[in-house]
Amino acid sequence: MTEATNSGFAMTSAEKIALANRAAELLVERIEELPQQNAWEGDFREVLEELLLKDPPEEGQPAREVLEMAARDILPVAMRLDHPRCFGFVPSEPTWPGIVADFMAAGFNVNACTWLVASGPSQLELVVVDWFRRWIGYPESAGGLFTSGGSAASVDAFVAAREAAGHPDRMTVYMSDQSHSAFKRAAMIIGVRLECIRLIPTDAEFCMDMSELARIVAEDRAAGFNPIAVAANAGTVGTGSIDPLAELADYCEAENVWLHVDAAYGGFAVVTERGKQLMAGIERADSIGLDAHKWLFQPYEAGCLLVKDAATLERPFAVRPDILQDTVWGKNHPNITDRGLQLSRGFKALKVWMSIQTFGMAAFREAVMNGIELAEQAEEYIAASPVLECLNSAKLGIVCCRVNPGDRSLDEKAIEDVNRTVLAHLFWDDLAFISSTMLHGKFALRLCVINHSTTWADVRATLEAIERFGKEAIPAG
């Protein structure tokens, strides 16, 4: 054991270990108690300001007390995205080795920027990105990097697309009306004008309408615009829908337009046979975004961008400032900073690697399948319910429904009012958390069922609560 040094930040070995042990105890307790708690917790600004709006103290206080304060007053006041009944937005339930990996990466103070600064971490990032490459079915020329998430991956992908198109004026990009808002933002960041972002309508299954895409691109070309990218979905955030990827690949090849596939939500379904079939054609995209902090059970942040040809990322991103001249080790030793917008970078690959080393791929496959099957089971339940209407065919763990008893002719406004009431009741009076969306103009209650500890009992209890609150909310008459 070393003694404390004179630094103002010094702690003894015993103090450091005690603090980390206490943190681990608090976390394990939290995770074990989750199922008995509400999936949502939060508070209003005035309450939290009263508690937290304080100047930084001049003198420190015992580390354990600070830790307990964080664990009591701040950290739990948030949605419990890892709760077995958290079905809102995109929940996420990290594995314990993944959580510990983030602690280790911070403790080893890894900056995964260049080979010189982080050889081991860089090699491991190449290894994990290569796992993803093989799951997708990309060629060996493919490569990529970890990003903060799908939004950052979309910016990097559009930069590569713009570069591949020769950085033209009057750029247009194409995505469906179901695409994630991250793509609109990414397009604007890379200099596409808002009015040049084309939202292609979707069919009844919420998939991009290919004939509309072709028509709009042709019109744009005739008007002197330069289409640089189509962003397709491999799992829309609303319904888990998958655009016609193989057809899109044919089309984009013929039109010489970059095809990006947003697989941030659904992409890791490719670890299963079913997911692989659903995503056939994804391997023909020029780039693909994936989020390991969604369906690969990792703590935030863990996005990834893969490109079919790694050089298409390095062309726009690699810059060689004098201050980094020592870091150039040659082609065999890539500096991951040359593939994206960050120089200093955390070591995100470690959590994926540690989780998969610990549990093995079979456990991941089973956990992903659990989400797919539970959503399908929910769809069957909804179809058999006298008060519920299904609004999508369950796909990639997402099912949407609304209260709409078939024997009553409620107009759209009345149905929406009923479902808003149901949502509010669930929010305040039930353990579960779900969120809503609009699907082709219809107000939808949406369940995203991807947490690995979620069981059918959790899903069924939530659907029963929706039915119960729905019956109460339906106007008499």
Among 264, 269, 399, 463, indicate the residue that binds ligand PLP (CB under 6 A). 264
Coil/strand/helix, residue 147:
strand
* CB burial of residue 67 (10 Å; 0-12, 13-18, 19+): middle
Residue nearest ligand PLP by beta-carbon distance: 149
Considering only 148-156, 159-167, 246-254, 441-449, which stretch makes contact with ligand PLP by CB under 6 A? 148-156
C-alpha 474/C-alpha 443 separation (Å) is 15
Q: How many residues bind ligand PLP (CB under 6 A)?
A: 13
CB of 136 to ligand PLP, least distance (A): 16
Q: Which is nearer to ligand PLP, 151 or 370 (CB)?
A: 151
Q: Which is nearer to ligand PLP, 92 or 419 (CB)?
A: 92
CB of 449 to ligand PLP, least distance (A): 14
CB of 205 to ligand PLP, least distance (A): 16
The 73-92 site mask, x for binding ligand PLP (CB under 6 A), equals -----------------x--
CB of 378 to ligand PLP, least distance (A): 19
CB of 158 to ligand PLP, least distance (A): 13
Among 149, 227, 405, 470, indicate the residue that binds ligand PLP (CB under 6 A). 149
**Can residue 265 be called a binding residue for ligand PLP (CB under 6 A)?**
yes
CB of 52 to ligand PLP, least distance (A): 25
Coil/strand/helix, residue 232:
strand
416-445 binders of ligand PLP (CB under 6 A):
none
DSSP string, 267-291: GGGGGSHHHHHHTTTGGGSSEEEEE
Q: Is the Cβ–Cβ distance between 382 and 388 less than 8 Å?
A: yes
Angle made by CA atoms 154, 158, 159, in degrees to the nearest 5: 115
Angle made by CA atoms 330, 336, 342, in degrees to the nearest 5: 135
CB of 89 to ligand PLP, least distance (A): 7
**Can residue 150 be called a binding residue for ligand PLP (CB under 6 A)?**
yes
**Can residue 156 be called a binding residue for ligand PLP (CB under 6 A)?**
no
**Can residue 305 be called a binding residue for ligand PLP (CB under 6 A)?**
no
C-alpha 159/C-alpha 167 separation (Å) is 9
CA distances for 359 relative to 97, 272, 295, 352, 355, angstroms: 9, 16, 15, 11, 6
439 strand-pairing partners: 442
Q: Which is nearer to ligand PLP, 82 or 467 (CB)?
A: 82
Token reading at 277 = 């079939």
C-alpha 154/C-alpha 306 separation (Å) is 11
Residue type, 366: E
Token reading at 378 = 């929910």
Among 83, 180, 198, 395, indicate the residue that binds ligand PLP (CB under 6 A). 180
Q: Which residues of 433-442 are buried (b: 16+ CB within 10 A; e: fewer)?
A: bbbbbebeeb
Considering only 18-26, 192-200, 260-268, 348-356, which stretch makes contact with ligand PLP by CB under 6 A? 260-268
- Closest residue by Cα to residue 402 from 360, 346, 447: 447
Among 100, 129, 182, 282, indicate the residue that binds ligand PLP (CB under 6 A). 182
Using the 8-state DSSP alphabet, how is residue 9 labeled?
Answer: T
Among 237, 248, 261, 375, indicate the residue that binds ligand PLP (CB under 6 A). 237
Considering only 26-34, 149-157, 320-328, 426-434, which stretch makes contact with ligand PLP by CB under 6 A? 149-157
**Can residue 151 be called a binding residue for ligand PLP (CB under 6 A)?**
yes
Among 125, 262, 416, 430, indicate the residue that binds ligand PLP (CB under 6 A). 262
**Can residue 334 be called a binding residue for ligand PLP (CB under 6 A)?**
no
Considering only 258-266, 420-428, 433-441, 454-462, which stretch makes contact with ligand PLP by CB under 6 A? 258-266
End-to-end CA distance of the chain: give it in Å, rounded.
Answer: 76
Q: Which is nearer to ligand PLP, 117 or 232 (CB)?
A: 232
Q: Which is nearer to ligand PLP, 142 or 398 (CB)?
A: 398
Q: Is the Cβ–Cβ distance between 257 and 110 less than 8 Å?
A: no
Considering only 113-121, 261-269, 277-285, 456-464, which stretch makes contact with ligand PLP by CB under 6 A? 261-269
CB of 219 to ligand PLP, least distance (A): 27
- Closest residue by Cα to residue 88 from 461, 429, 423, 328: 423
CB of 347 to ligand PLP, least distance (A): 18
Q: Which residue has the tokens 């028509």?
A: 215
Q: How many CB atoms lie within 10 A of CB 25?
A: 11
Beta strand 398-403 with 435-439 is unpaired
CA distances for 410 relative to 416, 464, 465, angstroms: 10, 21, 21
**Can residue 303 be called a binding residue for ligand PLP (CB under 6 A)?**
yes
Q: Which is nearer to ligand PLP, 238 or 405 (CB)?
A: 238
- Closest residue by Cα to residue 197 from 221, 171, 218: 171
Residues that bind ligand PLP (CB under 6 A): 90, 149-151, 180, 182, 235, 237, 262, 264-265, 291, 303
